[in-house]
Structure 1
C-alpha cells in the first residue's frame, strides 16, 4: 500500500517522515490525543501569543475511519476573556529548528468578544499529518495578559479524536504544502498580488483524487472602503490554466453560538470569518485538472481593487495545500 508522506515541494524540501511502504495496516483502537490543555495564551511580561508542543499521534500503520479535532476557548480566571475578536490558528511546525522551518495551517478561528466558544473540525483528510511525533502550534493575536483592563487573554484546549476502522476510500495518502501560512497587503498597485503570493510549480504524484484546500480571510477596516474585513471580494485560484473563483464573504455571523452574549459588532458579515467561530476552508476538487500530470502551476489572484491610501491597509491571511488521495 502506498505510504503516507508529507512533501514540501514549494520549498524544494522533502520531509521524510510519516512514511510507510509495504506494511500491513490494521484498524487502530479508538483514542483521543490531548494536544493543548487550558494553555494560557496572553501577552504580558512574557509573550505567550504562540505556544508550541510536541505530540505523539498514532503511527501510520494504524487506520482510522475518522480524525476529528475538538477545540474550545475559555476565559482565564473564569470571566476575564480578552475583550476583542482576535485572529488565531492551529497547525504543525514542520522541520522544527531548521532553516526550512515553516508553519502548516490545519485550522483557523477568530475569538469571540469577551466570551469563550467551542468547535470541532474534521481532519480525516489530513491524517498523513496527524501521524507520529509532531510539533503542534497555537497562535492567537492577542495583546492583553493577566491583570490587563481589557481581559487576561484566553485558555485554549485542543484534542484529536481517532476512531478506529477502515479509512474512507479513496484514502488521503499525501499532503503537499503549496503556500504555507502568509499575509499579504491588498489594493496596492506597487505591490501586486503575484509578487506577494508567488505562483508555484508543483510536482504532482500519482493519485486517484486531488483536493486544493485553502484558508482565506480579510482583515483591516479603518478606511473609507471598510476593506478588507467588511468588503466582499472575489478570489481566484488557477490550477494548470483552470480557474476557480469564490466571493470570500460570510453572512451568517448573527447565528454564531458562543458561551454567552458577545459584545461588539459580532453580528456583521465579514470577509470569510465571524467573531467566535472557526474559519471554514475552501476546498476545490481539482482531480480532472491534475490527473495524469507530472507538474502543474498553481497561482492566486484577487479581483481588481485599489486601496484609497486612507486608514488601515487592507490585508489577507491565506494558506493552501494539496491533498492527494
Structure 2
C-alpha cells in the first residue's frame, strides 16, 4: 500500500473509504490520552469512531511512552508533541479582540479556586469550552429546564480528554449566580460518583467555575459571553469560535416545534476542534504547492439564475505537474458578516467547483468538487481528489467556476504535492452521471468501453454520489439507503449509501469534519452526504478486474432495496471516473 493510500480499499465494495479530511496519509489520533487512563472509562470519553481511529495511531490508551497532555513529547526532531501526535502550539501574543476566529489574547479569568491566567496554563494541546448557564440558544425560560440541570455526566463522557471547561453564570443577581453554580456543582459531584478514580483525577482539575458574573471577565472572554452570548471555544491554534446549537435529536418538543437542548452537545465542539487542529497541521506539513482560486470572494446566485463565480489561474507547467501525485481541495466558506446564526445562510444546499475545458468561456461542466453547506455556521474542509489530477496535468492557464445559491465568502485553493505514493494518476476518463431517480433511471445507461494502457500499474474507479429529494416511499433519496452497482467486465463493485436515514449518522462524523451543532436537523444521516461536509470521492481499486493492453467494459445501475425506485421526484447526483495510474 502506498504512503497516503491508507484510505483505499482493494475489494471494490462500499467499505472503500473516501480519501478525505483527517486521513492525510496517517490518521492523527483525534483526542488526547491522559496518562494511566485506560479501560472502559476511556472508551466512554470517546465516540466509537474516535476510538477506532485512536487505535490506528502510534501507542494505545494504556501506553505511557508518549508525553501526557501538557508534557513535552519526543517528536523525533526536537518537536514537542501532544499525545495525539500533533505539535504543541506556542502561545501567541495578541491584542484583545472578541471577534469570531480572532487570536485570543492573554486574560485572567477569576475562578472559585483563584485566578486562571490563560498564558500561564496554555499547553498547546487542549481545547477550552466556555459555557454559560443561559445562552440564547438554550434559555430556561424557553424550555422550562436549565441547561445545567441535566446531561453533565454525558458531557464528560462525550468530551475528548483534552477538554478544559469554564462554567460561568451570567445572571445579574449574585444570589441567582450562586444558585446556578451550586446546581451545576451538584451535578458534577453526581457525575464523579460514576467515574473511576483515574477518570475523576483527570477531570477535576479541568473544571473551573467563574467567580462573578461571566460577562464581567476582562477581555475577549467576557465580551463574547455578553454578545453574542452563545458560549465560546478556544481551539488548539488559539482562535476564538462560538458554541453552536444545543438541540438534541432525541428531545423533540411538539409544543415548541423544535428540539430541546442538551448540555453534552458542547462536546461536539471539542471533537471538531481536534479535527481542525489536524487540518491546520496538514496545511503546514504537506509541502504543497498552493494555487489560490478565490480568497474570501463573495459568490452567490440568490436569484437561482445559474450565476457562477469564475476565475482563471496559472498552474505550474506540465513538467512540474508531472511531479505531483496528490491533489486536494481546500475550501473555507466564510459567512458575510461578523457572526454565525443570523449571519450565515440557513440551508443545507449543494455547492460545486467546476473545471472548464481549455478555451471554454462559459457553462463549464466538469465537476471538480462538491460540498453541502451548513445550517447557519462557517465551515472548512480539505479532501483528496487526486484521481482528477490528469485533468489538469498540462498545467498553464486554466479556468474554474464555483456555484453556490446562498452568499458566502469563498476561499478555495488547489493543493498539489508529492506524498511518495507508489503510483501517480496519468489518465482520467469520465464514466457515468446521475439524474432523476425513478423507474426509468437505469434506462439511461449504456456500457462504456475504455482501452486500458499496457503500461497501467493500477486502475481505479472513483465515485462521488449524493442522493436528494424527500419522496415517498422511503423519504428518497435524501434519507433512503440506495445501492449503486458499477460493473467492470462483469464484476460488480457496489457502493451502498446506508448512512441515509440514521438518527445520528452525521453527528457521528464530527471527527471527520462534519460541522457540529448546526441550527437545523444536521444530526440525521443522509444519502452519501451530510449538512456541513464535503461529498467524498470514494476510490475503489479495480486493477484485478481489467487487463492492461485490452479494452474494459463498464456499466452502471442504481437501486433502492435491490429494485428500481418507482416514484418520481428523487434524484441522484453522480460523477464517476476511471483513473489509470503508473
Q: Per the shorter chain, which TM-score range?
A: 0.7 to 0.9
Q: Which has the larger radius of gyration?
A: 2
Q: What pairs with 1:124-163 in structure 2 (closer than 5 Å)?
A: 124-131=386-393, 132=395, 133-140=397-404, 142=405, 144=406, 153-163=407-417
Residue 378 (structure 2) pairs with residue 116 (structure 1): yes
More helix by share: 2
Q: What pairs with 1:21-32 in structure 2 (closer than 5 Å)?
A: 31-32=289-290
Residue number in structure 2 paired with 1:184: 435
CA gap 1:293/1:47 in 2 versus in 1, 3 angstroms: same
Kept after mapping to 2: 8 A contact 1:64/1:167:
no
Q: Which whole-Å deviations, capped at 9, do the CAs of 1:104-163 have from their partners, x for residues lacking one?
A: 2232210011112100012444332344122212222x2x5xxxxxxxx22221112234
SS in 1 for 2:300: strand
Residue 558 (structure 2) pairs with residue 299 (structure 1): no
Residue number in structure 2 paired with 1:171: 424
Residue number in structure 1 paired with 2:485: 236
Residue 331 (structure 2) pairs with residue 67 (structure 1): no
Report the Cα distance in structure 1 between the residues aligned to 2:381 and 2:425, rounded to whole angstroms. 23
Kept after mapping to 2: 8 A contact 1:194/1:300:
no
Residue 394 (structure 2) pairs with residue 106 (structure 1): no
Residue 510 (structure 2) pairs with residue 247 (structure 1): no
CA gap 1:296/1:323 in 2 versus in 1, 3 angstroms: same
SS in 1 for 2:317: coil
C-alpha deviation, 1:59, in angstroms: 1.7
More strand by share: 1
Kept after mapping to 1: 8 A contact 2:471/2:567:
no
SS in 1 for 2:486: strand
Q: Which whole-Å deviations, capped at 9, do the CAs of 1:259-313 have from their partners, x for residues lacking one?
A: 673111110011100000011122111111122353222111012133345xxx0
Report the Cα distance in structure 1 between the residues aligned to 2:301 and 2:525, rounded to whole angstroms. 28
Larger RCO: Structure 1 or Structure 2 (Cα < 8 Å, ≥ 6 residues apart)? Answer: 1
Residue 86 of structure 1: which of 345, 349, 355 is its match?
Answer: 349
Q: What pairs with 1:202-213 in structure 2 (closer than 5 Å)?
A: 202-206=450-454, 207-213=456-462
Residue number in structure 2 paired with 1:24: none
SS in 1 for 2:324: strand
Q: Which whole-Å deviations, capped at 9, do the CAs of 1:159-209 have from their partners, x for residues lacking one?
A: 12234x585222221222223xx4411122xx24131x4432222223111
CA gap 1:30/1:112 in 2 versus in 1, 3 angstroms: closer
Report the Cα distance in structure 1 between the residues aligned to 2:471 and 2:419, rounded to whole angstroms. 50
CA gap 1:184/1:166 in 2 versus in 1, 3 angstroms: closer
RMSD (Å), alpha carbons: 2.6
Kept after mapping to 1: 8 A contact 2:324/2:424:
no
SS in 2 for 1:269: coil
Report the Cα distance in structure 2 between the residues aligned to 1:125 and 1:246, rounded to whole angstroms. 18
Residue number in structure 1 paired with 2:231: none
Residue 480 (structure 2) pairs with residue 221 (structure 1): no
C-alpha deviation, 1:315, in angstroms: 0.7
Gapped regions of structure 1 (runs ≥ 5): 1-28, 145-152
C-alpha deviation, 1:65, in angstroms: 5.6
CA gap 1:260/1:233 in 2 versus in 1, 3 angstroms: closer
Residue 297 of structure 2: which of 17, 39, 48 is its match?
Answer: 39
Residue number in structure 2 paired with 1:261: 517
Report the Cα distance in structure 2 between the residues aligned to 1:231 and 1:129, rounded to whole angstroms. 33
C-alpha deviation, 1:243, in angstroms: 0.9
Kept after mapping to 1: 8 A contact 2:327/2:414:
yes
SS in 2 for 1:58: strand
C-alpha deviation, 1:95, in angstroms: 4.4
CA gap 1:46/1:177 in 2 versus in 1, 3 angstroms: closer
Gapped regions of structure 2 (runs ≥ 5): 1-286
C-alpha deviation, 1:218, in angstroms: 0.3
Kept after mapping to 2: 8 A contact 1:40/1:48:
no
Report the Cα distance in structure 1 between the residues aligned to 2:381 and 2:288, rounded to whole angstroms. 20
Q: Which whole-Å deviations, capped at 9, do the CAs of 1:14-42 have from their partners, x for residues lacking one?
A: xxxxxxxxxxxxxxx85311111223222
CA gap 1:67/1:245 in 2 versus in 1, 3 angstroms: closer
Kept after mapping to 2: 8 A contact 1:54/1:134:
yes
Kept after mapping to 2: 8 A contact 1:118/1:258:
no
CA gap 1:64/1:114 in 2 versus in 1, 3 angstroms: same
C-alpha deviation, 1:317, in angstroms: 0.3
